[in-house]
């Protein structure tokens, strides 16, 4: 089962091309998307010292049907965007390739990471070509599905998810190891040992699947 990374050049007719190329230093992070036949809705996060000109440019576009500011804090804004031109997502739908989020758009280019079958990945390339959308496959490597499902024991997964949900991995940290252990009703030393084993398994898997693959690509 291949996992691929693609960079796709957004057609100039789309709003996200104009806005992202006008503001090339801003990264638009699409955290969720709901594609349709003639409309697409997405939640987009952007960070900019002054997001007002960006929002104004988006609202001025005819292909942006609706724009709603969901949340803002400091220089980060979270938006819900409804667009009448979902053509960038059509090749994904036709090829039957699930859209993985989050993905990023910057300076007219979208970066997708996909896990699908070789046939569907090939169909996606053909569909992009048919729609005149330029793209480049940055890397493709095989994912061992059986290994991924067996990466952690049930107990390791339970402790790791408890730490994640508690905010143990946030920056700055929102929960201590003592907090995590207390929520699981185990001793701090036991929690630390299980969590360390889980982190070790994840770190080794990540290094093998991503760091080593990136080194091979270079």
Give the pLDDT confidence of 113-162 residue by residue, as tens digits: 998 888 899 999 999 999 999 999 888 876 665 555 567 888 888 999 99
The greatest distance separating any two alpha carbons of the chain, rounded to the nearest whole angstrom, comes to 59
- Could you tell me whether strands 28-35 and 109-115 are parallel, antiparallel, or unpaired per DSSP bridges? unpaired
Asked if residue 36 lies in contact with residue 86, where contact means CB atoms within 8 angstroms, the answer is yes
CA 10, chain centre distance (Å): 17
**Residue that wins the pLDDT comparison between 212 and 127:** 127
Per-residue pLDDT averaged across 155-170, rounded? 92
pLDDT tens digits along 59-107: 999 999 999 999 998 889 999 999 998 889 999 999 999 999 999 999 9
CA distance 32 to 44: 8
Per-residue pLDDT averaged across 31-59, rounded? 92
Q: Is the dihedral of CA 33, 34, 39, 41 positive or negative?
A: negative
Consecutive H or E run containing 8 = strand 2-9
% of the chain residues with pLDDT over 90: 66
Asked if residue 20 lies in contact with residue 107, where contact means CB atoms within 8 angstroms, the answer is yes
Tally Cβ neighbours within 10 Å of residue 108.
19
Asked if the model's pLDDT at residue 32 lies above 90, the reply is: yes
Mention every residue, 6+ apart, whose C-beta is less than 8 A from residue 103.
29, 30, 110, 111, 112, 113
């Amino acid at each position: 089962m291949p996992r691929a990374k693609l960079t796709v050049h957004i057609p100039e007719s789309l709003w996200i091309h104009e806005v992202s190329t006008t503001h090339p230093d801003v990264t638009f992070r699409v955290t969720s998307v709901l594609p349709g036949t003639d409309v697409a809705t997405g939640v987009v996060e952007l960070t900019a010292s002054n997001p007002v000109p960006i929002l104004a440019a988006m609202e001025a576009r005819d292909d942006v049907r609706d724009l709603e500011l969901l949340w803002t804090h400091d220089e980060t804004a979270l938006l819900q965007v409804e667009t009448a031109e979902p053509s960038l997502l059509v090749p994904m739908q036709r090829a039957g390739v699930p859209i993985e989020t989050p993905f990023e758009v910057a300076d007219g280019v979208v970066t997708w990471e996909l896990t699908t079958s070789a046939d569907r990945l090939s169909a996606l390339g053909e569909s992009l070509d048919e729609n005149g959308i330029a793209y480049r496959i940055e890397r493709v490597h095989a994912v061992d599905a059986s290994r991924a499902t067996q990466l952690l024991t049930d107990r390791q997964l339970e402790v790791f998810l408890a730490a994640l949900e508690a905010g143990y991995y946030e920056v700055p940290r929102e929960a201590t190891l003592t907090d995590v252990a207390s929520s699981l009703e185990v001793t701090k030393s036991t929690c630390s040992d299980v969590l360390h084993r889980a982190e070790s398994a994840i770190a080794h898997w990540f290094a093998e699947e991503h760091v080593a693959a990136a080194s091979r690509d270079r």
